[in-house]
Structure 1
Amino acid sequence: MTYIVEETVGPLVEEIREDLIDQGFKPGTQEYIGPFFRRVTDLRILDPAMGSGHFLTKATGYLSEQVMAEVREAETEFGVAFDEQHIRREIAKECIYGVDLNGMAVELAKLSMWLETLAADRPLAFLDHHFKQGNSLVGSDIEDIEELESDANGDGEQASLAEFGATREGTIERLMDIYSEFLDIENETVEDVREMKRKYAEIEQDELRRRLVAMANVHTAERFGLDVPSGVYERMAKALEDDEEWMAVKNTDWFRSAQATAGEQDFFHWKLAFPEVFYREGGTTREDAGFDAVIGNPPYVKIQNLRRSVPQFADYALQTFDIATGRFDIYALFVKVGTELTADGRLSYILPNKFFESGAGQPLRQYLVSNQLLREIVDFGRHQVFEGVTTYTCILSLQSRGQAFEYAEASEASEVGLNQAPRAEIKLDDLDDEKWALTGPRERNVLDKLREGGTPIKEQSQYLSEGIVSGDNKVLFVEIIERNKETVKIECALDGAQYELESEIVRPLLRGDVIERFGSTQAQEAVVYPHETHRGETRPIPENKLQNEYPLTFEYLTEFKERLADRGTGDMRYREWYALYRSREKQLFEAPKVITPDVCQRCEFTVDHSGTTFLPDTAYGIVPERNEERHREYLLAVLNSAPMWFFVYHTSSVLRGDFRRFKTSYLSPLPVPDSSPATERETEPTFENVIKDKEMSPGERLSDLACVALNLSERRDDLNLALLDYIQPYSEGPSLTDIGIYQPPEGVGDTKLAATKEEYGNIRIGTVTCEREDQSTVIIHATARYKPDDEDAYETDQWGYTETEPMPAMRLTDLSEIKADLVEAFVPVAVKEAGGFAGFRETTTKTNSLVDRLEAITLPDPDDVADDLKRYREAIERAEELDGKIQRTDDLINQIVYDLYGLTDEEIEIVEEAVVNE
């Protein structure tokens, strides 16, 4: 990709230009061209996983064009044009380096470079010295051996490893002398190419060099589990210049095993493979040792797949790379190696953008930040770079830079999209330790405006916290069966048994996963809460008091005492064996409050006006300073608005499935405008009045709209929309394939819906929807859920499944209205029930595809359920009417909140593109 080359190599060329101008050279003159060309051909550009050489040919073309741009200015003075193909050949010979594990890829890369530098009157250029086969991630620096502590037990005649350093330097010096002669060959004629081959063979076959490689192989093989005797490095060091002794070393089992492992694992020792990149003539290390730039598209392979395909390499990676932790991907290792191979960390790769947020990407994120390597990230988002492959990617550009980097979101996967994407500067200190929530400049400007337009909710609150940490939800979180004034009957999740406890100890509990936007706080669960308020502090009820005054609860807790006493370590110790870790009776649970789940896909705030709802650690409560009903409803409207979700979306942790995670640190800065109504309302607002009344202040309208939304949601929740409650029991009628005229939609056989277990071992039906094409025709759409081989290449849920877009699965025509209604209502329910209900199972077999599973669904008899179905349809229509009112309420809340923040039309469009129209 040209952009990667320009982004990485372009600044190097500009540095050359500026340096020559500073020295007094004038561009466009003969005096300038020579030094410029020499300096360009001194550059070293590497692709450590080059494949067919795409990036390297782009780099060759780019550098050649840069030289030719300078030459064209001076052609008038020279009186003769430069030979562009000569320039390309020189750049290919001097500047371009590539390595690949696949030998065929190396040959393809050389072919690509030959085509790039082809000249009619010249032979194919010699490229073997820069295009090599090997594993870029496996090898040793020969200097590592010099730094080993001596473990020799000989008689004192063995050469020390320090003395070995002198031998090594002398060998490199001689190799560099030969290499200089090699590079001086013009590479223009057939005779030149033959001479280069001869001279390069001399370098490769140099006996001392081969022995250094063999020593490096032994050092690397140790990390593949080779057990070497003590003193072997001293022995090899002494034998380097002693043919007889070296032959004795070669005949040892450990030496032969090391060389065999080197061949099997394709060891690649960078400094011995490309000595001119790291050493000067004389064998000393270059001050600018390393490549000037590393570019490419490294492979994406998870550790799980490495363990299956190359287990020895997987173990080596885990042992050798500190960045190889957790469920890492091999591309992280290429980032580490790439930056270590450069003089100043300059690198640009195309990588999956999942590392911004995934747990597997945490070691890479930490490495980049701790070493201050980030220079630029251009995110392609959902735009696809690679044709035929669904992979969400970014361009990661690195260089030892400092405390900030540039971030951009490309509007399309093209050079235009890359170059035109606006950049935003992000400080390293702004990056979250867990995940990176990165935003472009347009989004960052909106976030700044939201911050300016409001005060952080934390500063407006008495209390903001997550709920109870029980340490044992199966015992302490219970289901309410029946409650009366004195006692409550509960069901224990651990053993499924029912118990009777004192009502005072059992408090209503609302889990995060049942909290809904403007939803009810009626709880079906409870927490066993053996705590009391004492002198203004919440504390565990003393054990003797618990036993005497609450004997039923004490007996229940005692039954699980061993289990409860084993909870918690370190900071999570429980004050008493029966107590809860986090208990805030008066401050949070018994106060009116705004509440929210800790994980959501949109803002899901609601309000507990009664102050009786307890929360677990999967939910948060906000107790405002001004804790009045109308103010709470004002907060509720603002917190559920589109601008607030935009703020959360771009500042909170991202979870699988594009969920966002609340923590105290994410909730605290939510900016709320200071426009709350000053007085309580006198009459209950209605939907019709609030929609029409434009005389109220924005704060008054928002609080009334929130009140209306709460009431509308309550009314909708009261509707029974469970189809089976209307039609049970029913007698079985026709199957889907028999109810009308069934035709497979065009192309369904080429989709995953036609797949079986033979093709996808874990594929299953996801969701099913029905579309009425007309009164007598229903098209059934379905999604397929499956586990992709590479989870990072897809959006996956917490179980590792990805889901396709809805696809037409069945087309039923010639249906009566009642039959069409039945298909539309019943099929999604049958799929949701699954498990054999109505003949449907969600998974495939070797012979049954997902379409086959849908075809097997058996419907109720249409005549038997006609009246029941009519009542169900009426309930659905009432729900749709309420949904429409709720949506209008939401839309009006958004409009008012946009105005409170002072957002322009363009800024509103940015918000809605991100969160409203997802």
Structure 2
Amino acid sequence: GTLRVTPFNGRLFAPASAPLADSAVVDDRLVRDALLSLTTRAGREKRERISYADLGVEQLGAVYERVLDYQPRVEANRDVTLTPTGRRKATGTFYTPRGITEYLVRRTLAPLIRDRSPQEILAIRVLDPAMGSGAFLVAACAYLAHAYEQALIRAAVVAAADVSPHDRAGFRRTIAQRCLFGVDLNATAVQLSRLSLWLSTLAADRPLTFLDHHLRTGNSLVGASIDDVLRQPPSPRGGSRPRLAALPLFALDDLSQRVSRAVRPRLTMATEPDDSVDVVRRKERDVAAIDGSAGPLAGWRSLADLWCALWFWPRDRPAPDRRAWAALADAAAGRRSDLPSRVQADWLATARAVAGRERFFHWSMEFPEVFFDEDGAPLRQPGFDAVIGNPPWDALRGDAGSTDDRAEAKTSAHALTAFARSSGCFALQGDGHGNLYQLFAERMLQLVRPGGRIGMLAPAGLASDSGSSPLRTALLERCGIDALLSRRPRGPKFHAVSVCDRHRGSIAFPTRALCRTPLSCPCP
């Protein structure tokens, strides 16, 4: 007979992704030891086989958390030791147990899918702006796929008895391709999220689901919108809030056309089934073309990178002043500039290096279909239907991690604090040391559409920290409490609150620690 092997196009071991896999020579004994350790463990009398049948996809997050804890180091005698790095705490990366992710997803998404048609469910857009290994997106995929199946049954498109496991895998693929969005600062986390969703949507006769258009690497907290880059930035060393530039930085007449050229192919990517490797590879080329230096929004992205870079400018390099900003912005956008060519080239090179290091993420340019229609016009209700996740909770001090990383971390923390306070992109941050959860909470409020929902794990500081006062005031003034959960586990006290925004929909803040008897009151 013929052995049929489906080309999954996973890229995990593709030459471009893992060049050492083709060139490295590994001793057979080392491979044997590795396979033995992965498949068996020491028992009382002999080694026992390890079963991975019950290993959940979301548990990749626990593996990722452990990987961040250690750095392999080859000693002089060629022994390999694992050295603690502190990167997990420094990056605020913590595995979220399955029970909590499923609770949060169910609580956040349930009102959005109630009595919805199949097409309305496929139109839901769910974002995790700090996705880690993708646990929340995996849970959202399963929840929305089940809701989609029930909607098809209600609409008499399919009969309940006729839905097969193959059909359900297809539903999960469709949901992952259309509905799920994720961002993370760590490229390894993005790869793991992609892998988690691949395993959740695997079909024996199909290539792996194309997800590159919706799972992105970047800093969710640092980026600029098109409106932002039309404002004069303040001094990168601090100063007053940005003011409007006296003159437009460059012509806006073709902006809608450029946005449309990015939105249309991205919408096609989301709706076209990934039935063959050829389709997936064409989508890869399309994404590369949109994101490349000749892409429709390349000039705006370069300008946004420059705008953000001023807060993260190296202290040993001269930075452009306000008078040079307009000319430099023209150069970044590919227009004529009055600056000396050498000065211009040096500043633009520095801005590109800073943008690459900090991984600025410009939301309306990375996911333009969430903010603009096919013609490039702003949507009446832009934003995501649901924003969920467990973002970092760490204070912006840069005192975690190894000694070697601490100085760089402090510099980045100070720059992020300055950006949050003076860029005009955040308005709900208090005095004192900022905390990442405060910035993420405000960013989630900015990204959710009117009538959308937010589900976020938050510490007790949301209800008590002085630095959270502006954010807390905004939530209390705009929102009614839907449910309040709290618990005092062994260790610090955690809170969880689920609130219903009177103006922009529902906002849920469940916590890492859940109690059995929540307090609740209806939304007004």
Normalising TM by the smaller chain, what interval? Answer: 0.5 to 0.7
Q: Of the candidates 349, 355, 358, which is equivalent to residue 265 of structure 1?
A: 358
8 Å CA contact retained: 2:181, 2:215:
yes
> How far apart are residue 377 of structure 1 and its match?
4.5
Q: TM-score with structure 2 length normalisation?
A: 0.66
1:375/1:117 CA distance change after superposition, 3 Å: farther
1:218 corresponds to which residue? 306
8 Å CA contact retained: 2:209, 2:274:
yes
8 Å CA contact retained: 2:328, 2:337:
no
1:81 aligns with 2:160: no
Aligned pairs (5 A) from 1:621-770: none
CA distance in 1, matches of 2:341, 2:175: 44
8 Å CA contact retained: 1:100, 1:106:
yes
Deviations 1:401-436 (A, max 9, x none): 2799999999x956xx55x53424699xxxxxxxxx
1:165/1:369 CA distance change after superposition, 3 Å: farther
Q: Which runs of 5+ in 2 are unaligned?
A: 1-100, 233-243, 314-318, 400-408
2:82 corresponds to which residue? none
Amino acid at match of 1:342: V
> How far apart are residue 396 of structure 1 and its match?
3.6
> How far apart are residue 11 of structure 1 and its match?
0.8
Amino acid at match of 1:121: D
1:105 corresponds to which residue? 189
1:333 corresponds to which residue? 439
Q: Of the candidates 122, 127, 130, which is equivalent to residue 49 of structure 1?
A: 130
1:275 aligns with 2:368: yes
1:237/1:51 CA distance change after superposition, 3 Å: same
1:63 aligns with 2:165: no
Give SS of 2:455's match.
Answer: strand
2:224 corresponds to which residue? 140
Aligned pairs (5 A) from 1:873-888: none
> How far apart are residue 241 of structure 1 and its match?
6.4
Q: Of the candidates 120, 124, 143, which is equivalent to residue 39 of structure 1?
A: 120
8 Å CA contact retained: 1:279, 1:286:
yes
Give SS of 1:51's match.
Answer: coil
Deviations 1:779-816 (A, max 9, x none): xxxxxxxxxxxxxxxxxxxxxxxxxxxxxxxxxxxxxx
> How far apart are residue 77 of structure 1 and its match?
5.7
> How far apart are residue 236 of structure 1 and its match?
4.1
1:2 aligns with 2:102: yes
CA distance in 1, matches of 2:262, 2:135: 31
Deviations 1:29-86 (A, max 9, x none): xxxxxxx222111111011111111111111110001111233453666995371111
> How far apart are residue 327 of structure 1 and its match?
3.1
Amino acid at match of 2:487: G
Deviations 1:836-889 (A, max 9, x none): xxxxxxxxxxxxxxxxxxxxxxxxxxxxxxxxxxxxxxxxxxxxxxxxxxxxxx
Deviations 1:286-329 (A, max 9, x none): 11211111111110111334673733223323334341422332
Q: Of the candidates 502, 508, 516, which is equivalent to residue 401 of structure 1?
A: 502
1:308 corresponds to which residue? 410
CA distance in 2, matches of 1:239, 1:259: 10
1:92 corresponds to which residue? 176
Give SS of 1:282's match.
Answer: coil
1:373 corresponds to which residue? 479
CA distance in 2, matches of 1:296, 1:336: 13
Amino acid at match of 1:421: P
> How far apart are residue 383 of structure 1 and its match?
3.5
Amino acid at match of 1:222: L
1:383 corresponds to which residue? 489
Percent sequence identity over aligned pairs:
30
1:125 corresponds to which residue? 209
**RMSD between aligned residues:** 3.5
Give SS of 2:203's match.
Answer: coil
Give SS of 2:397's match.
Answer: helix
1:252/1:362 CA distance change after superposition, 3 Å: same
Q: Which runs of 5+ in 1 are unaligned?
A: 18-35, 153-159, 385-389, 428-918
1:750 corresponds to which residue? none
Structure with the greater alpha carbon radius of gyration: 1
> How far apart are residue 250 of structure 1 and its match?
9.8
1:227/1:147 CA distance change after superposition, 3 Å: closer
Deviations 1:565-611 (A, max 9, x none): xxxxxxxxxxxxxxxxxxxxxxxxxxxxxxxxxxxxxxxxxxxxxxx
> How far apart are residue 400 of structure 1 and its match?
2.4
CA distance in 1, matches of 2:211, 2:505: 39
1:169/1:248 CA distance change after superposition, 3 Å: farther
8 Å CA contact retained: 1:352, 1:391:
no
Q: Of the candidates 335, 340, 347, which is equivalent to residue 254 of structure 1?
A: 347
CA distance in 2, matches of 1:99, 1:423: 32
8 Å CA contact retained: 1:99, 1:133:
yes
Give SS of 1:379's match.
Answer: strand
1:392 aligns with 2:499: no
> How far apart are residue 108 of structure 1 and its match?
0.9
1:198/1:245 CA distance change after superposition, 3 Å: farther
> How far apart are residue 221 of structure 1 and its match?
1.8
Q: Of the candidates 268, 272, 275, which is equivalent to residue 188 of structure 1?
A: 275
8 Å CA contact retained: 1:291, 1:341:
yes
Give SS of 2:418's match.
Answer: helix
8 Å CA contact retained: 1:249, 1:255:
no
8 Å CA contact retained: 2:481, 2:520:
no
Aligned pairs (5 A) from 1:849-864: none
Deviations 1:75-122 (A, max 9, x none): 666995371111111110111011111111111111111111111111
Give SS of 2:501's match.
Answer: coil
CA distance in 1, matches of 2:358, 2:382: 26
Aligned pairs (5 A) from 1:20-39: 36-39=117-120
CA distance in 1, matches of 2:339, 2:173: 41
1:709 corresponds to which residue? none
CA distance in 1, matches of 2:173, 2:343: 41
1:479 corresponds to which residue? none
CA distance in 1, matches of 2:326, 2:173: 42
CA distance in 1, matches of 2:182, 2:504: 31
8 Å CA contact retained: 1:348, 1:398:
no
Deviations 1:114-151 (A, max 9, x none): 11111111111111111111110001002223355444
Amino acid at match of 1:284: A
Q: Of the candidates 206, 209, 214, which is equivalent to residue 297 of structure 2?
A: 209
Give SS of 1:383's match.
Answer: coil
Amino acid at match of 2:494: T
